[in-house]
């Protein structure tokens, strides 16, 4: 059984057809999250009326500098647009939580750079598998999210765009 709900994960653009467990990407490709889940399985997509290019936002709760609110993230991978509830200084560590259950997002691990950031999980399926998730940083302004699908790093193509 395929653990990924492929009907709700859209990869659009021009790319070569691939077979097997590899991902090949060429030219303009857009990865759009059409569903996302918190640590208890609550949906994080479309819980507000915020949209980016017609796609409903992914909403995450945030606590920083003694304030709390909801951040609406673009569901388009690599798009840094977001709507925030208050000003947050670049480099501020944030507590990330599910806006529905109020539970903290699951810690995935440390980011392997000098930022000191940690990755937290936004799951792509209701099964809450670490094999299908978006890893988001807890440091404001640290734009190093990663998408894992079926234990493959989909977002690896972004790092090669400059080659």
- pLDDT tens-digit series, residues 135-156: 889 999 887 777 776 655 555 4
H/E segment holding residue 138: none
- pLDDT tens-digit series, residues 60-107: 999 999 999 999 998 887 788 899 999 999 999 999 999 999 999 999
The pLDDT, as a whole number, for residue 13 is: 46
DSSP state of 49: S
The pLDDT, as a whole number, for residue 75 is: 85
For the chain, percent of residues with pLDDT exceeding 70? 72
Q: Which residue did the predictor score with more confidence, 21 or 38? A: 38
Q: Is residue 140 part of a domain?
A: yes
Q: Which residue did the predictor score with more confidence, 151 or 27? A: 151
Q: Is residue 26 part of a domain?
A: yes
The pLDDT, as a whole number, for residue 21 is: 27
Q: Is residue 126 part of a domain?
A: yes
Take residue 77 and report the two structure tokens written for it. Answer: 């991978």
Decide: residue 12, CB within 10 A, 0-12 exposed, 13-18 middle, 19+ buried.
exposed
Q: Is residue 23 part of a domain?
A: yes
The 10 Å Cβ neighbour count of residue 147 is 21
Q: Is residue 50 part of a domain?
A: yes
Is it the case that residue 56 has pLDDT exceeding 70? yes
Q: Is residue 93 part of a domain?
A: yes
State the residue range of the domain holding 122: 6-160
Is it the case that residue 24 has pLDDT exceeding 90? no
Split at pLDDT 50, 70, 90, the class of 125 is confident
Q: Is residue 1 part of a domain?
A: no
**Number of structural domains, the chain?**
1
Q: Is residue 34 part of a domain?
A: yes
The pLDDT, as a whole number, for residue 76 is: 80
The pLDDT, as a whole number, for residue 156 is: 46
């Amino acid at each position: 059984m395929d653990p990924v709900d492929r009907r709700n994960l859209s990869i659009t653009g021009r790319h070569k057809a691939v077979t097997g467990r590899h991902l090949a990407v060429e030219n303009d490709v857009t990865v759009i999250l059409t569903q996302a889940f918190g640590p208890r399985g609550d949906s994080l997509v479309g819980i507000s009326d915020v949209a980016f290019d017609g796609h409903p936002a992914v909403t995450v709760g945030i606590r920083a500098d003694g304030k709390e609110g909801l951040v609406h993230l673009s569901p388009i991978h690599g798009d840094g647009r977001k709507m925030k509830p208050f000003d947050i200084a670049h480099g501020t560590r944030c507590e990330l939580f599910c806006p529905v259950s109020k539970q903290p997002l699951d810690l995935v691990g440390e980011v392997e750079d000098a930022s000191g950031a940690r990755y937290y999980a936004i799951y792509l399926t209701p099964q809450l598998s670490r094999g299908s998730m978006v890893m988001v940083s807890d440091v404001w302004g640290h734009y190093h999210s990663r998408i894992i699908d079926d234990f493959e790093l989909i977002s690896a193509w972004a790092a090669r765009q400059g080659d």
